[in-house]
Every structure is written in C-alpha cells, then in structure tokens.
Structure 1
Amino acid sequence: MATVSLSSGVRSALTSLSQTTAASQQGQFRLATGKKVNSAVDNPVNYFTSAGLNDRAGQMTNLLDGISNGIQTIQAASQGIDSAVKLVESLQSTIKQAQADAAANRPNKVGAADVLATAAEVTATGGKSRKDIALDKRISAAGAPAAATASSAGHLINATTTPATALTVSAGSTTFTVDLAANATVRDLVNTINSSGLATASVDDSGRLNVTAAGSDTLRIGLGAGADATAARTNSTAAGNQNAAIGLATADGDAAGAGIVASGGNSTVRSNLIKQFNDLRTQIDQLAKDSSFNGKNLLAGDKLSIVFNEKTGTQQSKLDVQGSVLTAANLGVLTAGTTDAAGVSFNIQNDASLDTASDTLTNALTSLRSTASSLGSSMSVVQTRQDFTKNLVNTLTQGADNLVLADSSEEGAKLLALQTRQQLSQTALSLASQADQAVLRLF
C-alpha cells in the first residue's frame, strides 16, 4: 500500500480541526448532561468527592422519614395529654358540683325533740324570747331542773350527784370531746359545738336546739353528766334518749344525762354525680390507649428512639423518648362511690373525701402538665434536628453539585466559539488543499 504524504499545511489544518471537533463534542455532552464531570476520567477527585457527598445526603434524607414519624408520635401523645387535661378539669367540675350541694340539703341534722323554753317561761321572764331563754339556761345546777323566771335563768340537769358535764361531737372517725364548765350555759354549748369544726349549732326562735353536720359523715351529739369528768365523758358517748341530754327537764331530772343522737344520709345530688364522674374517669384510660402513631404509644409506656445521623455505635446521634403509662389510677383518681374502699373508691357523700379527691385532681393536672412539658421539650429538640438535617442535606447536595455540575452559560459560550473555530479550521484545510493542487497544475 502506498503511503500518502500530507503537506505541513494540510496536516496542521487537520490537527486543529480534530482538536476543535473533540472540544465541541465535549461541550455538547456537558450541555446535554448538565455536568462538567461525568466520570472519574474527567476529574477523579471531584467525581469521588461529589459521590461521597451525595451518598451522605441520601442517607440523611432517609433519616428525615424517621424523624418525621417521631414528631408525629410525640404529637399524638401530646394531643392525648391535652385531652386528658380537659377530662380532669371536667372531673374537677363534677367534684365542685358535689361540694356545692349544701349541707342543709342533706339529711344529716340533729334537733332536740322538745324545746328548751316554753311559753310559760316567756311570761315568767317578762316577755323574754324563747331563743334567749334557751341560750341563757345553765346546763347543770344543784337541784331538780328548773324553769327560767325573772330572777333565775333556769337549768337542765340536776348536778347534785353528777356535778361534771362533758360534750362529745363525732362525725365519721373524727371525735371532739370537751369538758364543760360548772356554770356552762346552752349558749356555751352552742359555741363549743361550733368550735368543733364538725357541726354547726343554733337555737331557733321556738327555743329548739338544732345541730347540722359540716359534712356528710354520720353526726353524733352527746351531752353527759357524771360524778367526775371521766364519768361525764363516758356518759356523753352512751346510747340513750335525746331528751336526757338536751331536752326539757323531766320529772326525774335526767340526772345521768346519757343521751346521744346519730343522724346521717346520702345526698341525691351527689349520688347522681357518681356515674358522671366514673364515666369521665374511664375516658382517661381509653383516651390514653388511643394516643398512638405507627404502633408507638408514649402514653402506654413505649420507648421512642429517633436517629439523627448516619453513623453507628457510639458515634450515632439519637434521642430516646421514654413514655409513661397514663391511667386514671396512676394519676391517683379513684372510682367514685358511696362507701370508702381503700385504693378502690372514694365516698362522694363525704366532704372530707371530696376535699381529698379535689386535691388529687389538682395533683393529676400538675402531673399531666409536667409530662406535657417534657414531651414539648423533646418535640423542640426533634424539630430542631429536622430543620438542621434538611439544611444539611441541601448543603451537601449543593457542595456535590458545585464539584461536578457544568455552567450552562459558560459551556454554551465555549461551544459557540468552538463552532466558529471549527468553521475556520475547515476553511484553513480547504486553503491548504488548494495550495497543493496549484503545484500539480505545473506539470
């Protein structure tokens, strides 16, 4: 095969055209792909660095799904607590309704069967009211019980053989006992009962002594007389006829004064509130069970782990949110009833139990709000990390793109220049060929 020799001019034009064509093809490829580095051949450092950055950005993007699920799980628990707070507040309202039921509306009152002052005494004292006559009478004095006159206030118990007197007021398991002075009057008796904190006493216009319990516990009132203080206290708690203690003087003078009266009853208003209270209490348990997301329930004691970075082992960054079991029992809210049962129910008829229940509900609200605050703190951390991760993904992606992406404006300008240059190279090649042909014409 014969060898064809090219002139230096043609060879130079061909070389320039070849280089321009290759550069033009490269520019077209960069514009088509949008990248200036498409493989490790183009730029090994930039290619592999970009790949590493994109890989980490992809891993962080995958973590965003877990972070988002974690936020929803915490929000579900937070919404459950908010609703539980409303239920507890409704329970408080129920307790307040029960407490607002006035003691006067409950059948828990003691009253003397007979009045302590008569119409005859009103006349004998010059028109003094029955109420004042009764209040001024002495509890005990020597001699048979005496009616009031213009010169004597009168007395109820013969203190000849039983000089000591004592008062006992009891409500439920609480008992108040006090020794009365030798010259104590019915007014002193009323004031002493009122000071017990267990009942309220008064004498009405008809001269009758009435005692009303401060709460719903069975009320017992006893006034006893005896040879000494011990005997008087014993007699004040002995069962007997009410009149023996605080009624009118009878023929025998009721020297022992051993009467005691018991009275108690349930409030219809409070009884009607039992179901309302217990239904609300049940809803707390049911609401907590429903506060789950994607199989996780922080109000059922589940533990939530939210991973924030792509590392493992000790280098892994995560947040553990430990849930707690939310139930009415754990909040200390007992079932409402009419009888006390330790650890099971509280007596809604009992004022002291209502006070305890009210305090318990206040403590329950404090506990719920503390849990809500803890969840809110965890939510803040997770949301901050979510925003950080999104920004970091953007930073990684942008950094990777900066290493491999082409500047379309720059590449377009280069391609245009190369095309012009390619045309010039073709023209130069044509001129070189014409020069060679001109030599051949000489022969």
Structure 2
Amino acid sequence: MATVSLSAGVRSALTSLSQTNSASQQGQYRLATGKKVNSAVDNPVNFFTAAGLNDRAGQLTGLLDGISNGVQTITAASQGIDSATKLVESLQSTVKQAQADAAANRPNKVGTADVLANAAEVTDTGGKSRKDIALDKRIGEAAVAARATASDTGHLIDTTTNTNLALTVSAGATSYTVDLSATATVRDLVNEINKSGVATASVDDSGRLNVTGSGSDTLRVGVGASTSAALARVNASSGTNQNVAIGLAVADGDIAGAGIVSAGGNSTVRSNLIKQFNDLRTQINELAKDTSFNGKNLLNGDKLSIVFNEKTGANQSKLDVQGSVLNSANLGVLEATSATAVTGTFNIQSDTDLASVSDALTSALGSLRSTASSLGSSLSIVQARQDFTKNLVNTLTQGADNLVLADTNEEGAKLLALQTRQQLSQTALTLSSQADQAVLRLF
C-alpha cells in the first residue's frame, strides 16, 4: 500500500482536531455522570478517599434504621408509663371513694344494756333528764351498784375492794389505756374515750351510752377495777370485761369491770367498688403487655441495645436500655376483697387496709415517675445521637462529593470552548488542504 505524505500544515491541523475531540468527549462524559473523577485513573487519591467516605456514610445510614426503631421502642414504653400512671390515679380515686363512705362501716355500740338511766330514776331525782342522770353517775363506789336519787347521783360498780379503776379503748393495733380516779363519773369516762382518738362516745337523751369507732376495725372498750392500778389496767384490757355491758352491775373481784365489743358492718358502697378497683388493677398488667415495639417491650423486662457507630468491640458506641417488669404486684397494688385480707389482697372494708393501699398507690406513682424519667433520659440520648448521625452522614457525603463531583458550569463552558476550537481546527484543516491544491494549479 502506498504511503501518503501529509503536509506539515495538514498534519498540525489534524493533531489539534484530534486533541480537541478527545477533550470534548471527556467534558461530555463528566456532564453526563456529574463527576469529574469517575475512576481511579482520573484521580486515585480523590477516588479512593471519596469511596471511603461514602462507605462510612452508607454504614451510618444503615444504623439510622436501628436508632429509629430504638426511639420508637422507648417512646412506646414511655406512653405505656403515662397510661399506667392514669390508671393508678384512677385507683387512688376509687380508694378515696371507699374512704369517704365511712359512716356505715364504723363499729357502733348502742343497746338496751347500755342504758345508764331509767324512768324510775327520773322520778326519784325529781325530773332530772336521763342524759344528765347517766352522765353524773359515778363509775364505782364502796357499795353495791345503786340507782340515782335526789340525794345521790348513783354508781355502776362496787369498788369496796377494788378501789382502782382503768379504761382501755382499742381498735386493731391502736390501744389507749388510762387510769380513772376513784370518783370518776360517766362524764369523765365519755371524755376519756373521746380523748383516745380511737372512738367517740356520748350519752343520748334516753340515757344510753353510744360509742362509735373512728375506724372500721373491731372496737373494744373495757373498764377494769382491782386492788392496784396495774391490775385494773389488766382487767380493763381483758376479753372478759370487754364483753360485759357497762350498764350492768358486776361482782366484786379481780375481774370486776364492764366493757363493749363492737365490729363494724360491711359498706355496700365499698363492696360495689371492689370490681372497679380490681378491673383497673388488671388493666395495668394488660397495658404493660401491649407496649412492645418490633418485638421489644421495655415494660416486660426486655433489654434494648442501640448501636451508634460502625465500629466493633471496645470501639463500638452504643446505649443499653434495661427495661423493668411493670405489673400491679411490682407496684404494690393488692387485689381488693370484702373479707379478711390474705397474702396479695386487702380488705376494702378496713380503714387500716385502705390507708395502707393509699400509701402504696402514692409510692407506685413515685416509682412510675422515676421509670418515666429514666426512659426520658434514654430517649433524649438516642434522639441526640440520631440527629448527630444524620448530620454526620450529610457531612461525609458532601465531603465525598467535593472530591469527585464536577462543576457543571465549568464543564459546560469548557465544552462550548472546545466546540469552538473544534470548528476552528476544521477550518485550519480546510485552509491547509486548499494551500496544497494551489500548488497543483501551477502545472
């Protein structure tokens, strides 16, 4: 094949046109991909640095899903705590309703044996009221029990031998004992019972002694007499004396005395509140079971681990949120009954039990608030790390882009310049060819 020789002008024009075409193709590729570094050949340092930044950004983006699930899991538990708090507050309201209905549940002793003055005494005292006759009577005297007359206020028991008197008022674990003077009257007895704080006493217009307990526990009131103050107090506390009505005369002896035993009845209102209380209590347990998210329930004792970075081992950053078991038993909320309390229950008819439950509910609220505070603290940490991770991903991505992305404005301007240069190179090639043709025209 014959070799074709090109003139210097044509060869120079072709070379320039080839370079312009190559640069134009590169500019078009950069505009098409949006990157100025598309492979390690373009710029190995920038290419691999950007790849590393994008890889870390991708790993952190993957962790954001776990962090988001962690936020929702803690939020679900927090909402469960808020709802449980409302249920406990409803339980408190139920207890207050039960405590408000107290009158029907108070031990009250009123009976014919407690009449301390009769119609005959009214006549004998010249028309003095039964109430005043009863209040003025002495508890004891060195003689057989005597009725009131115009000249004598009368007395209830014979204290010829047993000159010491004592009073005991008790209900549940509370007891009040006091010595009575030898000349103490029923009025003094009533005043001492009222001082006890355990019961209140009065004498009505029929001359009947009324004693009402301050609480719902069985009320015991005893009056004892003996040869010494110590024995009188023992007798006042004895079951024998507390089962003898005060209105009756008793034999002279170490167990001389009189008393009252009275138990309160069941309140219908309180009985009706049992189901309401127990239903609310059950709902606390059901609520805690339903606060799971994505298989994790922090109110059922589950542990939540939230990973914040892409590293492993000791360099890994994470937060462990240990849940706790939330139920009525752990909160100290007992089941309500209308009978003597057994383990795990309380008697709603008992003022003492109601007071204990009220205290337990207050403690339960404190425990719930403490748990809510702990969850809130964990949630704040996770949300802060979530925001930080999002910002870090943006920073890494932007840093990688700065290394490899093309400036479209610059590349567009270069391409336009190259196109102009290409046209000029083509014109130069044409001119060089025309100069060669002019030589041929000489022949």
**Would you call these one fold, judging by a TM-score over 0.5?**
yes
* Cα shift at 1:98: 1.0
Superimposed CA distance per residue, residues 55-79 of structure 1 (whole angstroms, 9 cap, x where no aligned partner): 1111111001000110111111111
The answer for the alignment partner of 1:58 in structure 2 is: 58
Q: TM-score, normalised by structure 1?
A: 0.93
Counterpart-to-counterpart distance in 2, 1:241 and 1:247: 12
Aligned to 1:106: 105
Q: CA deviation at 1:305?
A: 0.3
Q: How does 1:67-216 map to 2 (within 5 A)?
A: 67-102=67-102, 104-106=103-105, 108-112=107-111, 113-122=113-122, 125=125, 127-216=127-216
Determine if the alignment matches structure 1 residue 315 to structure 2 residue 310.
no
1:185-224 CA-to-partner distances (Å, cap 9, x unmatched) read 2122112212222211111222211111111111122222
Shift of residue 279 of structure 1?
1.6
Contact preservation (8 Å) 1:94, 1:273: yes
- Rounded to whole Å, the distance in 2 between the matches of 1:429 and 1:145 is 152
- The alpha carbon displacement at 1:52 in A equals 0.9
Partner Cα separation in structure 1 for residue 244 and residue 319 of structure 2: 76
For 2:96, the aligned partner's letter is K
8 Å Cα contact 2:108-2:212 kept in structure 1: yes
Distance 1:32 1:242, change over 3 A: closer
The equivalent residue for 1:224 is 224
**2:326 matched residue in structure 1:** 326
- Map 1:344-359 to 2 at 5 A: 344-359=344-359
TM alignment of 1:234-313, pairs within 5 A: 234-238=234-238, 246-247=246-247, 257-264=256-263, 265-313=265-313
Partner of 1:389: 389
- 3-state SS of 2:57 partner: helix
Shift of 1:124: 5.2
Residues 129 and 254 from structure 1, CA distance in 2 versus in 1: closer, same or farther, beyond 3 angstroms? farther
Give, in angstroms, the shift of residue 310 of structure 1: 0.5
1:120-162 Cα shifts (integer Å, max 9, x gaps): 5445556544323322222112223334445543322222122
User: Which of 240-249 and 15-24 deviates more?
Assistant: 240-249
Find the aligned partners of 1:384 and 1:126 in 2 and give their Cα distance: 91
Paired amino acid for 2:436: D
Q: CA deviation digits over 1:94-140, x for unaligned, max 9? A: 111111112x3126211252422334544555654432332222211
Contact map agreement 2:271 2:338 (CA 8 A) in 1 = yes
Q: How many residues align?
A: 441
> In angstroms, what is the RMSD of aligned CA positions?
2.3
Match of 1:8 in 2: 8
Aligned equivalents of 1:59, 1:242: Cα separation in 2: 82
Cα distance in 1 between the residues matched to 2:321 and 2:437: 89
Secondary structure in 2 matching 1:206: coil
Identity percentage of aligned residues:
76
Select between 225-234 and 214-223 the one with higher mean Cα deviation: 225-234
Corresponding letter in the other structure for 1:430: T
Is 1:368 paired with 2:368? yes
Question: Does the CA contact (< 8 Å) of 1:157 and 1:255 recur in 2?
Answer: no
- When structure 1 is superposed on structure 2, of 171-180 and 328-337 the one drifting more is 171-180
**Whole-angstrom CA distance in 2 between matches of 1:238 and 1:327:** 44
Distance 1:28 1:145, change over 3 A: same
Question: Structure 1 residues 202 and 93 mapped into 2: Cα distance closer, same or farther (>3 Å)?
Answer: same
CA–CA separation in structure 2 for the residues paired with 1:277 and 1:50? 64
The change in CA–CA distance for 1:65 and 1:373 in structure 2 (over 3 A counts) is same
Give yes or no for contact 1:237–1:258 (8 Å, CA) kept in 2. no
The answer as to whether partners of 1:339 and 1:345 remain within 8 angstroms in 2 is no
Measured in 2, the distance between the counterparts of 1:243 and 1:58 equals 86
Q: Tell me: CA distance 1:253–1:124, structure 2 relative to 1, closer, same or farther (3 Å).
A: farther
* Contact residue 167 and residue 178 of structure 1 kept, 8 A: yes
> Unaligned regions of 5+ residues in structure 2, if any?
none
What is the one-letter code of the residue matched to 2:257? Answer: A
Secondary structure at 1:246 match in 2: coil
The Cα of 1:352 is off from its aligned counterpart by: 1.1
Measured in 2, the distance between the counterparts of 1:133 and 1:292 equals 73
